[in-house]
Amino acid sequence: MKRILLLAALISSFFVPPSSFSAQPNVLWFVVDDMSPSFSCYGETLIQTPAVDKLAAEGTKFTRAYVTAPVCSTCRSALITGMYQTTIGAHHHRSGRGEMKIHLPSDVTPVPVQFQKAGYYTCIGSGLPGQDNCGMPFGNGKKKGGGSRLGKTDYNFEWDPKMYDSHDWAEHGGKPFFMQVQLHGGKLREGDEKARVAFKQRVIAELGSATDPQKVTLPPYYPRDPVLLEDWALYLDSARMTDLHVGRVIARLETEGLLENTLIIFMTDHGISHARGKQFLYDEGAHIPFIVRGPGVMKGAVRDDLVMQIDMAAMSLAAAGIPIPATMQGRDILAKDHQPRQAIFAARDRCDETVEHLRSTRTDRFLYIRNFLPQRPHLQPNAYKDGKAIVQTLRSLHSEGKLPSISEDLLFSSTRQAEELYDYQADPFQLTNLAANPDFKTELESHRAQMDRWVKQSGDKGPESEAMYDSDMVEYTRKKNPEVEKNIALMKQWARDGK
């Protein structure tokens, strides 16, 4: 309680009275794909990220920000509404894409629509005219000479494309603008061997050097295999390239005289795409950078209270003087009367063809995870993840019996514990499950009860119907991928077996 009161006092000291704000500031979001807080201002020592570091120095850095869903479409469905994806029924990855559609509850309105109604010019793109979300000349890739320049949306519900006026703020005509800069982030390193080599050459050309794989520090459950080391080095280089793009957007705002009247929020849509990262609720998948800079925001401040990506919606509306809907679950964490949360929650559900059901509660010290399908392995078959060289390498080492025991236990156990409890401050990689430890019985029961209350009070929609699954799988089977079809059959068999 003393910690919460101290944080409340600090938040009050960070607050600048609204009278110092310019009328209706611009609002700009950086939303980056597949990236953990791998920036030097967050403690990464192997690379330098001066643009993001400068944002933190000129604004407020949140050290304990987490997503409510560790995969693209579900996280983005939540952040654009300020609602838990489990509440609005958008919690299954790439759902509502078949004949059966998902519609938002009548009292939930996407944030861009609310900005439009308040007179804002709404846009979503790369933030750099003529460049795509990879920082490359537009049309340099598959869509030569055409294609939409709108940035990534990936929402699981039905929405009107007219809620975005353009891909860029250039034609805002004097109106305040709401801009989302959508960047490829950790996905820059992905692709076949040829694509990875080309990316590394680009890094050297633009930044002078590439990160040395031998100097990389991996989480303790990943073996120091050459494939994994090279991938992690390229991932850090993707953070450097992201930083370069961010710096160029900031420079454009400054050149156009817009910077000082623009609220900027920098975040990612979840952590690194890896075997225990993206799609999972451990820190590697759920912990994100979150930095806020702009009118009324304290400079050089650091906050360690628990916040979520859905807070970005409420905070942005408040900065623009737009009333926050009473039903919105995100909070204006910059408000003078903001009370820090004692717990935050997250969920992982079906990802592509792979059925999953995970929920988590995170408090000041502990992370509690409930596995609703404990008879299934951690790394269930999934065509998307199994197509990655890093996962293929891990599976190969596993089949050859060459993985260390910690990797076997955490990545390849055939079943999981129904409950997991970690002292994530003392155990930052979540290696030791305390759920069966009698010394932590009180904490386990407390977090279990918090989870039960949240599921009920938030209206968690839970597993999808078989009809909805079948509807969405039509979109996957159209690609005629035998592995996907095999996995769908396995998911159905496991469900029949009660697994």
CATH, domain range 2-17+25-342: 3.40.720.10
What tokens appear for 15 in the block?
């607050």
Q: How much is the average pLDDT of 382-407?
A: 97
pLDDT band at residue 100 using 50, 70 and 90 as cut-offs: very high
Task: Give the pLDDT of residue 140.
Answer: 60
Point out the least confidently predicted range of 13-22, 104-113, 364-373.
13-22
CA distance 339 to 384: 40
Q: CA neighbours within 13 Å on the CB side: how many for 264?
A: 30
Question: Mind listing the pLDDT tens digit for each residue in 431-469?
Answer: 999 999 999 999 999 999 999 999 999 999 999 999 999
Question: Mind listing the pLDDT tens digit for each residue in 273-285?
Answer: 999 999 999 999 9
Distances (CA, A) of 178 to 27, 125, 251: 5, 11, 18
Distances (CA, A) of 414 to 201, 379, 436: 40, 9, 19
Where does residue 264 rank: exposed (0-12), middle (13-18), buried (19+ CB within 10 A)? buried
Length of the chain equals: 499
Task: Give the pLDDT of residue 16.
Answer: 43
Q: How much is the average pLDDT of 227-243?
A: 98
Point out the least confidently predicted range of 101-105, 220-224, 314-318, 476-480.
476-480
Q: How much is the average pLDDT of 472-481?
A: 93
Task: Give the pLDDT of residue 12.
Answer: 47
Where does residue 386 rank: exposed (0-12), middle (13-18), buried (19+ CB within 10 A)? middle
CA distance 295 to 151: 25
Q: How much is the average pLDDT of 402-425?
A: 97
pLDDT band at residue 20 using 50, 70 and 90 as cut-offs: very low
CA distance 168 to 125: 6
Q: How much is the average pLDDT of 463-479?
A: 95
Predicted TM-score (pTM) of the model is: 0.94
| Domain parsing of the chain, residue ranges | 2-17+25-342, 358-496
pLDDT at 22 over 60: no
Higher pLDDT, 145 or 385: 385
pLDDT band at residue 9 using 50, 70 and 90 as cut-offs: very low
CA distance 309 to 361: 15
What tokens appear for 406 in the block?
């910690």
